[in-house]
Amino acid sequence: MGLGETAEDRIDMAVSLRRLGIKSVPVNLLNPIPGTPMEKQKPLDNEELRRIVAVYRFLLPDASIRLAGGRGLLADQGKSYVTGLILKKFNESGKSAAYYKAAMSGNHRNPDGTILPGDALDVKARSGISQPIEEMCPYVYETAVSPHLASRLEKNPIQWDEILRGFDRLCQQYEYITAEGSGGILCPLRFDREKIMLEDFIKARNFHCLLVADAGFGTINSVVLTAEYMKARSLCIKGIIFNHFEEGNVLHEDNRYLCEKLTGLKVLACVKNGEEHLPLSFEELEPLYE
C-alpha cells in the first residue's frame, strides 16, 4: 500500500483475494527510501492505515490480516502473531503480562517523523494488554534491514545497558514478560566496535525459549539448525510452536513429526491461519515461564 493506488484499487484487490479464498493477507506499506524510484512518494499516515485495515477486515472476515509495516525483511514465521496470542492467554487469565523486543527495524515513518513500532502495535492489539507502547521496545528503526545495520545507517547504535534496563524495568512491574527475538537466533543486534548478538541477551537474563516456525516448506532445515545452534550454546528451548498450520496437510503433518524426531523437542502447539486463541491452556503455558 502507498504506491499511489486509489481506494478503489485497494477494494478491488480485497475482493479478488476473497474470490480466490486467500486466508493469510500481509498488508505491506511502502517505506520510501532515498535513491529508489519511489523515494518521493508520500507515506501513508495512521488514519489511512486504519481505514485500509478496517476495509480489509470487513471484506475478508475469515482471513488473517498481518501488518508488515513496510518491512521488506519481515520474517513469515509469525513470531509477533504467536507472541500476541501468548500474551492474550495471560491477559484473559487475569495475569499482569508485558511484551519486550530489544530492537525492531523496517517500520513505517509518519509524516511528522515518528516511527510506528509495527510488531509492538500488532502484539498490543491482538493481546489486549494494557502495557504502554513506549515500554515495549527501546530501539525502533525505519530501514528494512537487520537491526545491526539499521542502527548504523540511522546513526542510533544499540546500547547494551539500555536493552537490559528496559527489560529489568518491566520485571519490576509485571508478573510475566514475553520477549520476542529480533530476527533469528543468529541475527546481530550490533556488529561494529561492539558486538551484541541475540543470544547474548538470552544468556544475560537466562531466558527459556520457544522456537516459533512456519509449518510449511523449508521448516525442517531452519528448525533443526536453529535448535542445534541453541543447544550447542546451552540455550534452553522449551519447545516448538508451529504457525500457519493446516490439519490434514501432508507436508505440515510430516514437518511436525520430523521436527520433533530430529530435535528431541515437543511441538507444543500448532496455530492455524487466523486463529484468535493459542491452542494451549493457561495451565500448560505458565510452567514455560520459570
Phi, psi of 96 (to 5 degrees): -85, 110
Rounded CA-CA distance 97/176 in Å is 5
Rounded CA-CA distance 67/28 in Å is 6
Phi, psi of 228 (to 5 degrees): -65, -40
Which of 95, 101, 238, 272 is catalytic? The answer is: 101
Measure CA 49 to chain center: 19
Please list, residue by residue across 244-261, b when 16 or more beta carbons sit within 10 angstroms of its beta carbon and e when fewer do.
bbeeeeeebeebbeebee
Q: Grid coordinates representing 131?
A: 502495557
Q: Which among 182, 68, 99 has a CA at the least distance from the CA of 190?
A: 182
Rounded CA-CA distance 182/198 in Å is 7
Measure CA 268 to chain center: 19
89 counts as catalytic: no
Q: What angle do CA 71, 245, 73 make, to 5 degrees?
A: 15
Helix (H) / strand (E) containing 210: strand 208-214
Please list, residue by residue across 74-91, b when 16 or more beta carbons sit within 10 angstroms of its beta carbon and e when fewer do.
beebbbbbbbbbbbbbbb
Is 118 within 8 Å of 67 (Cβ atoms)? Answer: yes
Is 258 within 8 Å of 218 (Cβ atoms)? Answer: no
Residues designated catalytic = 101
